[in-house]
Amino acid sequence: MVLATGDELLRPVVGELPQARVTGLVYLAEQVVEVVAEVRPQVLILADFMDSGLETVKVVRHQYPGTRIIYIITGEDEERVRGVLIKLGIYDFLPHTFKKSELLKLVQYPRGWQDLCSAGLLLDDLIAEPSPEIKGPGSPAARALEVEKPAEGSGGFAAFFNNMVGGVGRDTGGAGLREAGAATGIQESGEATRVQASGDGAGTPKKLGRGPERFAPPAIRVIKQQVVAFWSGKPGVGKTFLAVNTALALARAGVKVALVDGDILNLSVGVFLNLQDVRKTLERALKVNDPRDIADLLLYHPQFPNLAVLTGSDLCRPEGYCTVDKEAVARLIQYLKGEFDVVILDTTTDVQSVTTYVALQQANRVLLVTNQDYAQVFATKRQLALLKRLRQPLDKFQLVLNSELKGCKITTAMLEDILGLKVVQVLPHLPKQVLDSIFDSRPVVLQKGQEILGLREGLESLAQEIIPVITEEKVSLLENLSRLLRKKGSMTYG
């Protein structure tokens, strides 16, 4: 580790840990970055008087993400500094006066964001204040953000978090929060309505046979603009897979779709679609000054030009998003809403992530992806309870059970009972076919074959749940035989 505290006072303290070795001492503020670059420590202990304007910690966090930072706050503006550190993803910090045991414990056991935030600070950092260009002060979304700072002696985040785990459907009190009525985020009734014409112009939807290439949009569609976020309480359940395939199913049906690769910890939409361009990334789109410039950063699917994608993939590093603020994410979503029928947002599981929290806030539907793993269900329950405490309306959340295992002890009905949400779609367990589709960059909804028929139909049904525009002609075997006979008779006698 490197000690950037201006003296050697802490050297014997950390030396008590057998696994700790001090490889650098910094006495001048301007030398901190230079020493970190040379030594590449696992841990940097940095005092704020060695960091003018919090610039050094930002540089180290962005350029050397493998170095964990323990930050000592000696100044008076502790709350502001803590807020900046949290936004940078730095949760290991200490006040001006601390015990030796506190430092040693922090060196050995890094904190998570849940371990350190007070309820008031968490709310300040996670809940975006209504911005004039995004929400009016009297809008339902603005009213939903009415919160009250925790009173002194209320127990702070410890009581807040302990009460939270009790469950979503129970009023556990604590942390000084008060109800904001039945206000929800973005109301569907407040969305603009679009009418699009296609087909034969006669007002009748085209109906085609079964198969991935046999869908066509109806002649006239009345579409409520939808912002749909795919989210999960724990990684690895397939939300990116579902987001990509649902976007493609809608695009194939003629809907104008924007797909955003918002899982900044695992940027992979571009890999799923084999669609990447280093000049056009989500990171750049979040840093433009004029939202209209976002149009130049969209990638369009070669088969479906009505599907626009903002990708990250291996062209961006997660630390590149540390300086992105929530207003930039909200502006991006607002711009896409104005240009597309449906905006689909892939998200990371961490609700503290700026892209995820704003996505959940802006979406008028959240598809919560889960499986039947007990640890997954428990993690999801905790996350939902936290979101409820943070004034996130849960009436727009719906469950998608991915990779269902028949005969599992956790059933669909049990999931609905535990999480208090409705399951809108159940998808079969086909791990080989899913992994092959990802490896080949061939989404399931574009494939044929009986082995993936159930999964493909489930994904199409999920898209239908978002906007009911996908139609197909279901013809019985007897009707098909009748048609063949009529056709044969026509050829013979006509």
pLDDT in tens, 59-112: 998 888 889 999 999 887 888 888 888 878 888 889 888 888 889 988 988 876
Pairing of strands 342-347, 365-370: unpaired
pLDDT band, very low/low/confident/very high, at 301 (cuts 50, 70, 90):
very high
Do the Cβ atoms of 443 and 272 come closer than 8 Å? yes
Q: Could you give the percent of the chain with pLDDT greater than 70?
A: 69
End-to-end CA distance of the chain: 90
Identical topology for domains 2-116 and 192-466: yes
Residue matched to tokens 């802490």: 10
Do the Cβ atoms of 32 and 56 come closer than 8 Å? yes
Residue matched to tokens 């669609």: 275
Instruction: Specify the pLDDT at position 322.
Output: 59
Q: If you write DSSP's letter for every residue of 156-193 in order, what string do you get?
A: HHHHHHHHHTT-SSS----TT----TT--SS-GGGS-E
Residue 187 pLDDT more than 80?
no
Tell me: the pLDDT tens digits for 142-177? 333 333 333 333 333 333 334 433 433 333 333 333
Instruction: Specify the pLDDT at position 126.
Output: 43
More confident residue, 214 or 36: 36
Instruction: Specify the pLDDT at position 321.
Output: 56
* Cα–Cα dist 33/320, whole Å: 18
> Comparing C-alpha atoms, which of 249, 205, 240 is closest to residue 462?
249
Tell me: the pLDDT tens digits for 115-138? 554 444 444 444 443 333 333 333
Query: How would CATH label the architecture of 2-116?
Result: 3-Layer(aba) Sandwich (3.40)
Backbone angles phi, psi at 143, to 5 degrees: -65, -30
Tokens coding 411: 């059933």
pLDDT band, very low/low/confident/very high, at 420 (cuts 50, 70, 90):
very high
- Mean residue pLDDT of the chain comes to 74
pLDDT band, very low/low/confident/very high, at 188 (cuts 50, 70, 90):
very low
Q: Classify residue 334 as exposed, middle or buried by CB count within 10 Å of its CB (0-12, 13-18, 19+).
A: middle
Instruction: Specify the pLDDT at position 485.
Output: 55
Instruction: Specify the pLDDT at position 478.
Output: 52
* Cα–Cα dist 160/176, whole Å: 9
The residues spanned by each domain of the chain are: 2-116, 131-164, 192-466
Instruction: Specify the pLDDT at position 448.
Output: 87
Long-range contact set of residues 59-66: C-beta below 8 Å, sequence gap at least 24: 59/33, 60/32, 60/33, 60/36, 61/88, 61/89, 61/90, 61/319, 61/322, 62/319, 62/320, 62/322, 62/323, 63/33, 63/37, 64/36, 64/37, 64/40, 65/317, 65/318, 65/319, 66/40, 66/42
Q: How many CA atoms lie within 13 A of 186 on its CB side?
A: 24
Instruction: Specify the pLDDT at position 95.
Output: 87
Q: Which helix (H) or strand (E) holds 230?
A: strand 226-231
Pick from 153-157, 167-171, 323-327, 433-437 the range whose average pLDDT is largest: 433-437
448-427-312-247 Cα dihedral, nearest 10 degrees: 60
Do the Cβ atoms of 362 and 146 come closer than 8 Å? no
Instruction: Specify the pLDDT at position 25.
Output: 93
Task: Report helix angle 412-419 to 374-389, nearest 10.
Answer: 30
> Any idea which of 340-349, 446-455, 482-491 has the lowest mean pLDDT?
482-491
More confident residue, 405 or 322: 405
Q: How many CA atoms lie within 13 A of 489 on its CB side?
A: 6
Number of other CB atoms surrounding residue 202 within 10 Å? 7
Domain 192-466: assigned CATH number: 3.40.50.300
Q: Which helix (H) or strand (E) holds 369?
A: strand 365-370
More confident residue, 233 or 230: 230
pLDDT band, very low/low/confident/very high, at 218 (cuts 50, 70, 90):
very low
Residue 395 pLDDT more than 60?
yes
* Cα–Cα dist 281/270, whole Å: 10
Instruction: Specify the pLDDT at position 147.
Output: 34
Tokens coding 139: 């809008």
